[in-house]
A and B are shown apart, each in its own frame.
Chain A
Amino acid sequence: MKGKGLTTDDYPLAEKRPDLARTRRGKTLEDLTLAGIESGDVALEDLRITPEALRQQAEIAVAAGRPTLARNFERAAEMVDVPQDVILRIYELLRPGRAKGKADLLDAAKLLRGTYKAEQMAAFIEEAADVYERRGLFSKRF
Chain B
Amino acid sequence: MQDKSPTPPQIKVNRWRRFADWDERPLRLDKFAVEDAAAGFAAFSSPNDPKPGLGVENGKVISMDGIAAADFDMIDIFIANHHLDVDIAMAAMAIPSPEIARMLVDMNVPRAKLVRLAHGMTPAKLAEVVTELNALEIAFAYSKMRARHTPGNQGHVTNAKDDPLQLAADAATAVAFGFDEVETTMRVARNAWSNAIACTVGAAVGRWGTLFQCSSEEAEELQIGMAGFSSYAETVSVYGTERAFIDGDDTPWSKAFLSTAYASRGIKMRCTSGAGSELLMGFHESKSLLYLEARCLCLQRGMGVQGTQNGGIDGAPITCTVPGGMRELMAENLIAVWLDLECASGNDARPTESEIRVGAKILPFLIAGSDLICSGFGSILKYDNSFNPSLMNGEELEDFLVLQRDFEADGGLTPVGETEIIDLRSRAVQAIAAVFEELDLSKPTADMMASVVAASGSEETESYLPRDVAVISEAIKQRGINVIDVIKALAKRGFRQEAQNLLNVVKLRVTGDYLQTSAIVRNGRIISAINDPNEYLGPGTGYRLSPERREQLVNIRDVLDRDEVLRSEGRHAKTEMRLIQYRTMGLAEPGADPKEVVIGISPGFGLKIFRTLGGHPLSSVLDALTSGIRAKGGKPRIVRLRHTADTSFLGLSAARLAGSGVGIGIQAKGTAVIHQRDRLPHHNLELFSNAPITKLEHYRRLGENAATYALGESPEPVVVPTKGEAMGARFHAQVALIYAIETGLTEDGATPENIEIRLVEAAQ
Given that A68-B302, A69-B304 are known contacts, is A38 also in contact with B491, CB under 8 Å in the complex?
Answer: yes
Given that A44-B483, A57-B513, A73-B515 are known contacts, is A37 also in contact with B491, CB under 8 Å in the complex?
Answer: yes
| A residues less than 8 Å from B254 (CB atoms) | 91, 94-96, 128
Contact among A14, A79, A127 with B264 in the assembled complex (CB-CB below 8 Å): A79
B512 with A79: CB separation less than 8 A: no
Asked if B43 is an interface residue, CB under 8 A from chain A, the answer is no
- One of B77-85, B313-321, B353-361 contacting the partner: B77-85
B73 with A135: CB separation less than 8 A: yes
Interface of B is mostly: helix
Distance between Cα atoms of A46 and B506 in the complex (Å): 10
Distance between Cα atoms of A76 and B509 in the complex (Å): 13
Distance between Cα atoms of A127 and B254 in the complex (Å): 12
Distance between Cα atoms of A66 and B302 in the complex (Å): 10
A124 with B256: CB separation less than 8 A: yes
Within 8 A of B (CB), among A57-97: 57, 60-61, 64-73, 75-80, 82, 84, 87-88, 90-91, 94-96
Asked if B529 is an interface residue, CB under 8 A from chain A, the answer is yes
A64 with B81: CB separation less than 8 A: no
B491 with A34: CB separation less than 8 A: yes
How many residues of A are counted as interface, with CB atoms below 8 angstroms from the partner's CB atoms?
65
Instruction: Fill in one digit per residue for B267-289: 1 if any A CB lies within 8 Å of its CB, else 0.
Output: 00000000000000000000000
Contact among A14, A34, A64, A91 with B496 in the assembled complex (CB-CB below 8 Å): A34
Q: How far is the CB of B41 from chain A (nearest CB, A)?
A: 27
Given that A34-B499, A47-B507, A72-B304 are known contacts, is A84 also in contact with B222, CB under 8 Å in the complex?
Answer: yes
Within 8 A of A (CB), among B282-308: 301-306
Residue of A nearest to B492 (CB): A38
Q: How far is the CB of B240 from chain A (nearest CB, A)?
A: 16
- One of B243-251, B371-379, B632-640 contacting the partner: B243-251
Distance between Cα atoms of A15 and B516 in the complex (Å): 15
Asked if B150 is an interface residue, CB under 8 A from chain A, the answer is no
Contact among B242, B251, B503, B513 with A12 in the assembled complex (CB-CB below 8 Å): B513
B512 with A137: CB separation less than 8 A: no
| B residues less than 8 Å from A46 (CB atoms) | 510
B512 with A43: CB separation less than 8 A: no
A23 with B510: CB separation less than 8 A: yes
Asked if B260 is an interface residue, CB under 8 A from chain A, the answer is yes
Given that A66-B340, A66-B517, A84-B226 are known contacts, is A76 also in contact with B510, CB under 8 Å in the complex?
Answer: no
Distance between Cα atoms of A53 and B516 in the complex (Å): 12
Contact among B510, B513, B515 with A47 in the assembled complex (CB-CB below 8 Å): B510
| A residues less than 8 Å from B260 (CB atoms) | 72, 75-76, 79, 121
A49 with B253: CB separation less than 8 A: no
A37 with B74: CB separation less than 8 A: no
| B residues less than 8 Å from A121 (CB atoms) | 257, 260
Asked if A106 is an interface residue, CB under 8 A from chain B, the answer is no
B506 with A72: CB separation less than 8 A: no
Within 8 A of B (CB), among A3-46: 8, 11-15, 20-21, 23, 29, 32-34, 37-38, 42-44, 46
| A residues less than 8 Å from B526 (CB atoms) | 12, 14-15
A96 with B512: CB separation less than 8 A: no
Asked if B261 is an interface residue, CB under 8 A from chain A, the answer is yes
| A residues less than 8 Å from B616 (CB atoms) | none
Asked if B525 is an interface residue, CB under 8 A from chain A, the answer is yes
Asked if B482 is an interface residue, CB under 8 A from chain A, the answer is yes
Distance between Cα atoms of A17 and B624 in the complex (Å): 79
| B residues less than 8 Å from A47 (CB atoms) | 228, 483-484, 506-507, 509-510
Contact among B245, B251, B263 with A73 in the assembled complex (CB-CB below 8 Å): B263
Residue of A nearest to B242 (CB): A135
Central interface residue in B305, B510, B517, by most chain A CB within 10 Å:
B510
Central interface residue in B228, B491, B507, by most chain A CB within 10 Å:
B507
A84 with B510: CB separation less than 8 A: no
A72 with B510: CB separation less than 8 A: no
Asked if A48 is an interface residue, CB under 8 A from chain B, the answer is yes
Asked if A111 is an interface residue, CB under 8 A from chain B, the answer is no
B303 with A68: CB separation less than 8 A: yes
Given that A12-B513, A12-B531, A15-B526 are known contacts, is A32 also in contact with B503, CB under 8 Å in the complex?
Answer: yes
Distance between Cα atoms of A56 and B222 in the complex (Å): 23
- B: contact size bracket: 35 or more
| B residues less than 8 Å from A68 (CB atoms) | 82-83, 301-304
Instruction: Fill in one digit per residue for B61-99: 1 if any A CB lies within 8 Å of its CB, else 0.
Output: 000000000000110011001110100000000000000
| A residues less than 8 Å from B304 (CB atoms) | 68-73, 75
Asked if B266 is an interface residue, CB under 8 A from chain A, the answer is yes
Distance between Cα atoms of A33 and B504 in the complex (Å): 9
Instruction: Fill in one digit per residue for B475-497: 1 if any A CB lies within 8 Å of its CB, else 0.
Output: 00000001110011001100010
Residue of B nearest to A78 (CB): B264
| A residues less than 8 Å from B226 (CB atoms) | 84
| A residues less than 8 Å from B222 (CB atoms) | 84, 87-88
A94 with B251: CB separation less than 8 A: yes
A54 with B256: CB separation less than 8 A: no
| A residues less than 8 Å from B525 (CB atoms) | 12, 15
| A residues less than 8 Å from B531 (CB atoms) | 8, 11-12
Q: How far is the CB of A40 from chain B (nearest CB, A)?
A: 9
Distance between Cα atoms of A47 and B227 in the complex (Å): 10
B74 with A135: CB separation less than 8 A: yes
Distance between Cα atoms of A118 and B261 in the complex (Å): 12
Contact among A34, A49, A78 with B265 in the assembled complex (CB-CB below 8 Å): A49
Residue of B nearest to A137 (CB): B251
Residue of A nearest to B83 (CB): A68
Q: How far is the CB of A119 from chain B (nearest CB, A)?
A: 13
B530 with A96: CB separation less than 8 A: no
A48 with B303: CB separation less than 8 A: no
Given that A8-B530, A64-B530, A127-B81 are known contacts, is A69 also in contact with B512, CB under 8 Å in the complex?
Answer: no
B510 with A137: CB separation less than 8 A: no
Instruction: Fill in one digit per residue for B508-552: 1 if any A CB lies within 8 Å of its CB, else 0.
Output: 111111011100000001101111000000000000000000000
Q: How far is the CB of A26 from chain B (nearest CB, A)?
A: 12
A88 with B219: CB separation less than 8 A: yes
Q: How far is the CB of B473 from chain A (nearest CB, A)?
A: 19
Residue of A nearest to B497 (CB): A34
Asked if A131 is an interface residue, CB under 8 A from chain B, the answer is yes
Distance between Cα atoms of A9 and B222 in the complex (Å): 32
| A residues less than 8 Å from B112 (CB atoms) | 65
Given that A29-B511, A76-B263, A84-B223 are known contacts, is A95 also in contact with B250, CB under 8 Å in the complex?
Answer: yes
Distance between Cα atoms of A47 and B487 in the complex (Å): 13
A12 with B511: CB separation less than 8 A: yes
A79 with B266: CB separation less than 8 A: no
Distance between Cα atoms of A75 and B263 in the complex (Å): 9
Q: How far is the CB of B567 from chain A (nearest CB, A)?
A: 47
Asked if B696 is an interface residue, CB under 8 A from chain A, the answer is no
Central interface residue in B112, B223, B496, B516, by most chain A CB within 10 Å:
B516
Distance between Cα atoms of A29 and B508 in the complex (Å): 10
Residue of B nearest to A69 (CB): B304
Residue of B nearest to A23 (CB): B510
Q: How far is the CB of B726 from chain A (nearest CB, A)?
A: 48
| B residues less than 8 Å from A60 (CB atoms) | 516, 530
23 contacts between A and B (CB under 8 A): A11-B531, A14-B510, A14-B526, A20-B511, A34-B496, A34-B503, A37-B491, A44-B484, A46-B510, A49-B264, A49-B511, A54-B264, A57-B515, A69-B305, A69-B516, A69-B517, A79-B264, A80-B264, A82-B264, A87-B264, A95-B254, A96-B254, A132-B74
- Apart from A37-B488, A38-B488, A49-B266, 6 more pairs, CB < 8 Å: A11-B530, A42-B484, A47-B510, A61-B517, A64-B530, A68-B304
The 7 residue pairs across chains A and B that have the minimum distance between CB atoms: A72-B304, A49-B266, A76-B263, A94-B254, A128-B253, A79-B264, A12-B513
